[in-house]
């Protein structure tokens, strides 16, 4: 009887550990987009291109100088911060939750992951 209890407890623990690992895989533990995130974003944009939201419209494109400043590891300067918009909720639902103290924004035809200090962590370039 004790052996049965120990086996059952071991199975429950193993199931819990396996489930916790799967749930964690759906989160952004690193502050970077993966290939799936990029594909989902490109597909979403293709479906919404004719009625794109602010930050993803063709008239929102960045100049080449602004593009050069939009790089992972660099903070968004005041000019770029003034051009950021929240990622549309229906796109955000297709992306995993951002890491703690990070958020998704759109700016100049890009979906950007920024941290709480407005440092760019990663960028998805959308072909407008």
54 shares its domain with 4: no
Cα dist from 116 to 31, 47, 69, 101, whole Å = 12, 30, 18, 5
7 shares its domain with 38: no
pLDDT recorded at residue 127: 79
14 shares its domain with 63: no
51 shares its domain with 36: yes
19 shares its domain with 48: no
Indicate whether 15 pLDDT > 90. Answer: no
16 shares its domain with 61: no
CATH number at residue 95: 3.10.450.160
For 5, the domain range is: 1-30
Mean of the per-residue pLDDT values of the chain: 85
Q: Total structural domains in the chain? A: 2
Q: How confident is the model at residue 4 (pLDDT cuts 50, 70, 90)?
A: low
Tell me how far apart the alpha carbons of residues 69 and 77 are, in angstroms, rounded to a whole number: 8
26 shares its domain with 37: no
Each residue of 67-99: pLDDT tens digit?
999 999 999 999 999 999 999 999 999 999 999
pTM of the predicted protein model? 0.76
46 shares its domain with 19: no
pLDDT recorded at residue 6: 54
Q: Write the DSSP string, 14-51.
A: HHHHHHHHHHHHTS-SSSS--HHHHHHHHHHHHHHGGG
Q: List 79's β-bridge partners, or say none.
A: none
97 shares its domain with 36: yes
25 shares its domain with 63: no
Q: Rounded mean pLDDT of 48-66?
A: 95
């Amino acid at each position: 009887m004790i052996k049965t209890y120990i086996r059952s407890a071991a199975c429950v623990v193993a199931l819990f550990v396996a489930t916790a690992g799967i749930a964690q895989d759906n989160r952004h533990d690193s502050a970077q987009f993966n290939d799936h995130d990029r594909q989902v974003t490109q597909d979403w944009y293709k479906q919404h291109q004719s009625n794109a939201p602010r930050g993803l419209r063709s008239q929102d494109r960045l100049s080449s100088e602004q593009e050069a400043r939009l790089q992972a590891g660099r903070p968004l300067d005041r000019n770029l911060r003034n051009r950021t918009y929240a990622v549309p909720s229906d796109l955000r639902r297709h992306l995993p939750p951002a890491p703690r103290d990070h958020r998704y924004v759109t700016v100049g035809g890009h979906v950007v992951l920024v941290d709480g200090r407005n440092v760019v962590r990663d960028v998805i370039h959308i072909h407008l």
